[in-house]
Amino acid sequence: MSIDDFRDNTRKILDNMLNETAKADRQQLVDAYAELLTQLYVHESHQLLSEVIEDTRTRLDARLSPDPLRQTIAGVQTTLQDLWNSLWK
């Protein structure tokens, strides 16, 4: 998932809403599209959480591995991720 994908999907939903404005009851339209946006958010956040859990599982497996090379790679990945996160905060 990326911000651009989420934005594109949201724009499509809102574009559909604006095109249907003259044809439907305003309250029903808002309710229907609020539900669509909620479902989009649920889907995207679930996908993001799944990716984070999978990444965490992979890193934990590498850190617990008896292979020192895998442990080193996991340490470098963690350091780079911490650096990346600190740049965006």
Domain count, the chain: 1
Query: Is the four-CA dihedral 34, 38, 39, 40 of positive or negative sign?
Result: positive
Q: What angle do CA 83, 67, 76 make, to 5 degrees?
A: 10
What pTM does this model have? 0.55
Residue 52: which domain range?
Answer: 3-88
- Per-residue pLDDT of the chain (89 residues), as tens digits, is 577 888 888 888 888 887 876 777 778 888 888 888 888 888 888 888 888 788 777 777 777 777 777 777 777 777 777 777 777 65
Neighbour-count burial of 44, counting CB atoms closer than 10 A to its CB (0-12 exposed, 13-18 middle, 19+ buried): middle
Phi and psi of 17, rounded to 5°? -60, -45
